[in-house]
Amino acid sequence: MPASVPRHDQAQREAEALEFLHLYHTETGQPGLRQRQADLYRDGHLTLSTQELTFGARVAWRNSTRCVGRLPWQTLHVNDLRHVTAHDEVFTHLLVHLRGALNGGRILPTMSVFGPGVRIHNDQLIRYAGYRQPDGRVTGDPQNAALTDYLRGLGWRGGPGTPFDVLPLAIEAQGQVRLFDLPADATCEVRIEHPTCPAIGELGLRWHALPVISNMTLEIGGESFQAAPFNGWYLQTEIAARNLTDEHRYNLLPAVAAALGLDTRTRRSLWVDRALLELNMAVLHSFDRDGIRIADHHAVTWQFRHFETLEARAGRAVRGRWSWLLPPMAPATTPLWDRTYDDREVRPNFTAQPPAWQVARPGVCPFHH
């Protein structure tokens, strides 16, 4: 047992590893369970094969209580990049991930697992800057104001200052943090237009096509992988009912209502609801126009019920956080409205990392270009 690992932590890691090996060999039917158990007892930890890593990553998605889009969990493509630990190589593979997962609009669920010492400080690979203004307002996405400040502290000079400037990636590797600008062909943005209201298109809204989460630690069999960015595809309400409309985000419902010519003097006119509906229609229309895969809240909730049926046939319980599974738009019209779920977390799974600027990281220093 390594001297640096407390005995109780080591015991927990071994217990998780044994549980994972049993799960892997039971569900896949692969032989060799006893040999892998012997490997664990000999080494004190589990060195995952690529097949085990892929299975574990897929099950982590299957176990994600906050995700309503788990039906295609078995299709997740996993890039085993545990040998990649240098900044430039990590960035090169991230570009491969972004371009490959986009797949010409037919988005492929993809995960890239990097080696030890690698961490991506952005919470998603593609994020828009939030520039703080002297009067307290924010140009861009207010949610990313702290990240923007952090990246500027690392040496980023800022973009053109538009509401949709793509932030650089802060990649930690080998004890240093370096910044990398994403090329336009790796971000693939969609212009938001409405099928019947040109004024909404004139607002100049857009959003990126691919949501790649990059601030979650992948936990499999007692092993942790800090750099394991992964993507599915967007649900339209994520963009139109949250990102662009939350008051602490872009807060665009008043502008959309004005474009629609709605009476906004009182909420009793339901202008908020009507503007929200039309913006959701605009997002779906725009992604469909560009041939970019996107889910809608009615289809994805029915797909989740199908996922529950398949899991029941396999003898597995479906866990979930009801408040996350319900869409923020018309939740009572979905088949999940009257459902209840056990929200306890099980592994393999993902755990959230604290923002890099909130954590003291001895020995990690910025690399200035």
Token pair for residue 198? 């040109």
Res 348: pLDDT: 98
**Close Cβ partners of 343 (under 8 Å, ≥ 6 residues apart):** 65, 319, 320, 321, 322
* Mode of pairing for the β-strands spanning 77-81 and 110-114: parallel
Q: How far apart (Å, rounded) are the C-alpha atoms in residues 255 and 251?
A: 8
Q: What is the mean pLDDT of the chain?
A: 95
Q: How far apart (Å, rounded) are the C-alpha atoms in residues 303 and 174?
A: 42
Amino acid at site 292: I
**Which are the catalytic amino acids?**
67, 70, 233, 238
Domain boundaries, the chain: 10-127+166-318
Mean pLDDT of 147-153: 97
Res 359: pLDDT: 85
Q: How far apart (Å, rounded) are the C-alpha atoms in residues 265 and 23?
A: 58
**Per-residue pLDDT tens for 25-60?**
999 999 999 999 999 999 999 999 999 999 999 999
**Per-residue pLDDT tens for 65-85?**
999 999 999 999 999 999 999
Alpha-carbon torsion, ordered 301, 307, 312, 318, to 10 deg: -70
Asked whether residue 365 carries a pLDDT value surpassing 70, the answer given is no
